Every structure is written in structure tokens, then in C-alpha cells.
Amino acid sequence: MPAPASIQQNKDRFLNELLDLIRIPSVSADSRHKADMVKTAEFVKKSLIDAGADKAEICETAGHPIVYGEKIIDPAKPTVLVYGHYDVQPPDPLNLWHSGPFEPVIKKTDLHPEGAIYARGACDDKGQFYMHVKPLKA
């Protein structure tokens, strides 16, 4: 099934937004990245608002901030909860990376002939939760 026209028309923009998110080294286990955790939370909040969330807020915690957003279409309908995390694991050992862990590259492989993003957080979990944000607009 082909992608809806709006997705095809905005594909490059959506991809670049995801790559910008991945570039932020939101390593929660390393206190040197505390500011990056806040920057990532702000990025996620803005993404939710831009995608059409009715409400998005950053909630301070004893640890790193969480981001909460909601879109209510019909209060009489059931609630769907989507969870994701914006922090990533430390990229060590760095010598095993073929490119910088926070400099995403797209590589075509036999497994991914159309290309796959290689970077820390591309799948776990920035890419995963970001694909839940973009459909809000639809």
C-alpha cells in the first residue's frame, strides 16, 4: 500500500527531524549529559505540539524529566497510551562504531535495501517512539 501523499511529501522533513533528535546525546547514565537530556525533552515536547497534541508538558522528576502529551479526539472513546523513552545507552566502546554514535548515517544493506539509520538511539528508542508522534497530525 503506498504511503499517503502527505507522508510522501514530508518524508525528507520527517527524516531530518528524526536525525536531529538522534544527534542529541541523551545518555541518561552519564551525568555529563544532563543538559542533553533536558534538550531532548524540549525537542520531544515541541515535536508533540507541532504534530497536533492538545497538550504537551515537561514534568520534572528526581532524575531526568519526562514528557507528557495528549490528543483527545472524543472523551467518550477509550484511551490509548503510547510510551517511549528518549534516553539512550552509552555508546562505549567507541572503537566498535564505524561512524560517530550520534552522527546518524543511512546505509543500504541486503537486509535493508532501501536504507537503515545507524546511530545510537535510532531504534531503541528514539526512532520507535518518534514514529508514534508523526501520525498525530493525520
pLDDT of 99: 94
Number of structural domains found in the chain: 1
Q: What is the pLDDT of residues 95-111, one digit of tens each?
A: 999 999 999 999 999 99
Average pLDDT of every residue of the chain: 93
Cβ-proximal residues to 66 (8 Å cutoff; 6+ apart), any chain? 41, 58, 59
CATH number, position 69: 3.40.630.10
Q: What percent of the chain is predicted at pLDDT more than 90?
A: 83
Q: Which carries the bigger pLDDT value, residue 28 or residue 81?
A: 28
Q: Alpha-carbon distance 103 to 113, whole Å?
A: 21
Please check the confidence at residue 134 and state whether its pLDDT lies above 90: no
Instruction: Give the confidence band of 7 by pLDDT, cuts at 50, 70, 90.
Output: confident
pTM of the model: 0.91
Instruction: Using alpha carbons only, give the angle 39, 122, 18 rounded to the nearest 5 degrees.
Output: 55
Domain interval for residue 106: 5-137
